[in-house]
Structure formats: structure tokens, C-alpha cells
Structure 1
Amino acid sequence: MKHAFVPPADLEPLTRHPKAAAPGRHIALHHSTCFGCGDDVPLGLHLKVMAGEGLTVDAQMPVQDWMQGGPGVIHGGVLSAAFDEVMGTSPLLVGAPVVTVHLEVDFAKPIPLGSDLQFHARILGSERRKIYIDAIAHLGDPNAPVAGAHSVFVVIDVEKHFAEHFDKRVVL
């Protein structure tokens, strides 16, 4: 896949946090009403991001009829939201809550409704508060990606960042 995104050549390597989810374990995040991972959102993505080896994560998502964009295929915005959720969860492996600064998605092939889309993301490194991540989506063969993404997330203090919007009834 071709893309214009080029991370800095001198990224600092990151190490997995000692309390990070073990490989194969679900990385719990957000709250039950999060569009990306929440269980209480009727038409949410319901993504369960799983810790991988090193600084990688994996997730899968059934491509459902309500996700349709063009006839019989996923909407690009839904795919972008899924990438954002998967990639935005991965910094928890290094103990860093983040928000999206840049997200670039490369659409390589149409993704049909009814397929099982699988994601694999990896943390590339950091530059000050910025964390660089890339990911692919495939339909069962990681060597045949149907989409790819590159992103930059910035580390935040959750309470300060969301202070104006924080609902004291929601547990982060």
C-alpha cells in the first residue's frame, strides 16, 4: 500500500508497561457507551482489542449490514473509526492514555459486508508526547491487507483533558 505518512527516523523506542495486559488478553478501555469499544451502544463497533506480543495489538470486527457505504461494502468512515479505536488502545501497553492527533487510512480493496475484518497494529515509537502507530486490516491473510493506517497520538492527562466534558457518573 502506498501512503504519504513518514514517521520521524529518530523515534524513541518504548517498552511495555509492567502492568499492561498480557498477550492474548483483552485491553479494557473507556466506558460502556464508547462507540468503538462500548457494550451499551446498540450500533457501536463493539471492538475488543487484544494485547499481542511486544508492542502490538489485534482485534476483529464482523462487517455488518448497518456499516454499509457503497453497495455491499463497508463505509470508509466506519473503517476509519475502527482503525482509530484499535490504534488508540495500543498505547495502553506502554501505560499511556492518548488522543488522536493524526489518522491516515489507505483503502486498498473493497471490504464486503458479512466479512470478518481483522486488525493488527504496532507501536513504532515516540517523540516527546507523540506516539506513532501503524496498522493493517485483512480478511484472514495478514499478507493480503485490504486497508492500512498510520497515526499519531498524543499522551494526555485524562482528567485534565476531558474536565469540561467529564460526567462524574462515567468511570474511565
Structure 2
Amino acid sequence: MKTSFVLPTGIEPLTRHPNATRPGQKIDLHHSMCYGCGADAEVGLRIAVTAGEGLTATATMQVENWMQGGPGVIHGGVLSGAFDEVMGTVPLLLRRPVVTGHLAIDYAKPIPLGSTVHFGCEIIGGIGRKIYTRSYAHLGDPDAPVAGAHALFIVIDLEQHFADYRDKAVHPS
């Protein structure tokens, strides 16, 4: 599996915020209708991300029948969405909201329907508003990854970034 990712020169180590979610606890997110983590979304991944030590986290996702791509296996785009959710959540340990700037995935093995996918994720570092992360997925054996990913996230001002869209947001009734 290809796992190379060229980091920019000058990347700096980042530090966990003192008020960040404690290790072992679920990192609470933004709203219940989120496709990645929302409990009220009609169709969604329902991923719960758990804070680890330092700038790490873990997560799991059940591979359901509606996620099918090829016969009997998960669709690559669904796995992409899962990586985006997990890696986009970890910067909350810095207390910084982010949006995805770049996401690259290396698929190594098919993931069967009915599986539980386990994710490990960490923040590599950052420069200015840019935060770099990496993640891997496995089916229960961390030494046998089924996919890996790298991403760049951009720190945003939540109110300003979503100001033009808030009135169009769907909320559970």
C-alpha cells in the first residue's frame, strides 16, 4: 500500500489544547444531521471519534448494506467520507474548527459488508491555518491495514465560513 505524503518544509509540531476532550472520551461535534457523525441523519456513517493521547484519535464504523460499491464490499467514496470525518474531527483536540483542503486515500484491500472498520488518526503538524493529518483503517488487526489516508485541513472561523448557508440548513423536526 502506498503511504507516501510529501509534507511542506517548515511544518511545526502542534500542541493539544488544555481544554480538549480527554483521552477515552467521544469528541463531540457540530450537529445531529451531519452525514459523518450525526445521529439524526436519515442515512449517515454515524462515526464516533474517541480522543486518544496527544494529538491522536480512534474511531469505528459499521459497514452496512447501503454502503455497497462492488458486490459485497464497501464503496470507495463511502470510505473516503469516513476518512474525512475522522481526520476532520482530530483538529478539535487543538480547539480549531476546520474544513477539508485536500484528501488522498490509498486503498489496499476490499472491505466486506458487515465488517467493522477501525480507524487510527493523528495530527502530523501544521503551518499557519494548515493542519496535516494521517489515518489508517483496519478490520481488527492494526498490522494489516486495508486503507490509509493523508489530509490537509484549513482552520476556519465557523460563523463567517457558514454565514451564507445557515438559513438553508436542515434540522430534525
Deviation at 1:84, TM superposition (A): 0.2
1:1-30 per-position Cα deviation (integer Å, ceiling 9, x unaligned)? 214531124311111001110001000011
- Residue 48 of structure 2 aligns to a residue whose secondary structure is coil
CA gap of 1:96–1:72, structure 2 versus 1, over 3 A, is same
- The separation in 1 between residues aligned to 2:32 and 2:44, in whole angstroms, is 10
Letter in 1 for 2:92: L
Q: CA deviation at 1:77?
A: 0.4
Distance 1:66 1:138 in 2: 20
Shift of 1:42: 2.1
Given residue 28 of structure 2, which amino acid in structure 1 is its aligned partner?
A
Match of 2:25 in 1: 25
CA RMSD, Structure 1 to Structure 2 (Å): 1.6
Aligned partners of 1:8, 1:124: CA distance in 2, in Å?
11
1:131 partnered with 2:131? yes
Task: Report the Cα offset of residue 78 of structure 1.
Answer: 0.3
**TM alignment of 1:9-158, pairs within 5 A:** 9-158=9-158
C-alpha distance after superposition, 1:110-149 (max 9, x if no partner): 0000111000110000011100000000001111100000
Separation in 1, partners of 2:29, 2:168: 17
Give the AA of the match of 1:52: G
Q: TM-score, normalised by structure 1?
A: 0.95
> Residue by residue, what CA displacement relative to the aligned partner does 1:39-95 show, whole Å, maximum 9, x if unpaired?
001210011110011100110001111100000000000000000000000000011
Q: Where does the alignment leave 5 or more consecutive residues of structure 2 unmatched?
A: none
Q: Give the whole-Å Cα distance in 2 for the aligned partners of 1:68 and 1:5.
A: 28
Between the two proteins, what is the percent identity of the paired residues?
64
Greater than 4 Å deviation, 4+ residue runs:
168-171
5+ residue gaps, structure 1, are none
Distance (whole Å) between structure 1 residues aligned to residue 158 and residue 43 of structure 2: 26
Q: CA deviation at 1:162?
A: 0.5
Query: What TM-score results when the alignment is normalised by the length of structure 2?
Result: 0.95
For residue 163 of structure 2, what is the amino acid of its counterpart? Answer: A
Task: For residue 168 of structure 1, report the CA deviation from its aligned partner.
Answer: 9.2
CA contact (8 A) 1:64 1:113 kept: yes
